Chain A
Amino acid sequence: MNEQEKPISSSKKNIAGELILPFCALLFTLYYFSTVIESPWTAQVNAFMVGSVLIGVVVIFFITRIVMLLNGKAQFHLNVPRILSSIKTRQSGFIGLTIAYLLVIESIGFTLTTALFFWGSMLLLDYGKAPVVKGALAVFMALAAYGIFILGFETRLPKGVFEAFLTGVF
Chain B
Amino acid sequence: MDINLAFFVELFFHVLGMWWVIVPSILLGLFVGAIPGFSAANTIIILLPLTFLMEVEVGLVFMIALYCSSRLGAGIPAILVNIPGTAGAAATPLDGYPMAKQGLGQRALSISFVSSIIGGILTTVIALVTMPWLARVGFYMHSVEMIVVMLFGISLIASVAAKDMIKGLIAGFFGLMIGSIGADHVYATPRGTMGFLELYDGVPLIPALVGLFAISEAFLVIEKGTFLSKTNVQDVDNASWEETIIGVRITLKRWYHVTWTSMIGLIIGVIPGAGAAIASFVAYQQSRTFSKTPEAYGTGHYEGLIAPEAANNGVTAGTLIPLMVLGIPGGATAAIMMVVMQYQGVPTGPRLFTERPELGYGVFMAMLVTYLLMAFTILPMSRYMSRVTMVSTTYMSPIIIAFTLVGSFVPREYMFDMYLAFAFGIVGYIARKTGYHVAAILIGVILGPLLEQYMLRALKMSDGDPMVLFSSSLGNMLWAALVITLILPAFLKRRRKSKAVE
Contact = CB atoms under 8 A, between A and B. Distances in A.
Given A20-B434, A114-B402, A91 B222 contact: yes
A45 interface: yes
Interface string A31-46: 1100110011111011
A145 B177 contact: no
A2 B435 contact: yes
Interface residues on A, range: 35 or more
B45 to A, nearest CB: 10
Contacts of A95: 219
Interface in A1-18: 1-5, 17-18
Contacts of A126: 392, 394
Query: Of B170, B190, B409, B432, which is in contact with the most chain A CB atoms at under 10 Å from its CB?
Result: B170
A9 to B, nearest CB: 18
Given A5-B434, A17-B434, A99-B422, A25 B170 contact: yes
Interface of A: 1-5, 17-18, 20-22, 24-25, 28-29, 31-32, 35-36, 39-43, 45-47, 50-51, 53-54, 57-58, 60-61, 64, 90-91, 94-95, 98-99, 101-102, 105-106, 110, 114, 117-118, 121-122, 125-126, 137, 141, 145, 149, 153-158
B168 to A, nearest CB: 10
Contact of B219 (A4, A45, A91): A91
Nearest to B176: A50
A125 B409 contact: no
Contact of A54 (B177, B406, B409, B455): B177
B432 A94 contact: no
14 contacts: A1-B98, A1-B439, A4-B434, A17-B433, A36-B191, A42-B185, A43-B189, A45-B456, A46-B452, A46-B456, A54-B170, A117-B402, A121-B398, A145-B406
Given A3-B220, A3-B432, A43-B184, A32 B173 contact: no
B185 A158 contact: no
A64 B170 CA distance: 14
B397 interface: yes
B174 A54 contact: yes
Interface string B387-429: 0000011110111011101100110010100110010000100
B180 A46 contact: yes
Interface residues of B, number: 73
B51 interface: no
A122 B394 contact: yes
A46 B38 CA distance: 31
Given A28-B177, A117-B398, 6 more contacts: A2-B163, A5-B434, A25-B173, A46-B455, A60-B166, A153-B43
B53 interface: no
B460 A98 contact: no
A17 B298 CA distance: 23
A2 B5 CA distance: 53
A54 B173 contact: yes
Nearest to A58: B170
B166 A57 contact: yes
Contacts of A102: 405, 418-419, 422
A18 B436 CA distance: 8
A64 B169 CA distance: 14
Contact of A5 (B190, B222, B433): B433
A36 B452 CA distance: 15
Contacts of B187: 39-40, 42-43
Nearest to A127: B394
A4 B455 CA distance: 36
B407 to A, nearest CB: 9
A18 B464 contact: no
Contacts of A46: 180, 451-452, 455-456
A102 B154 CA distance: 33
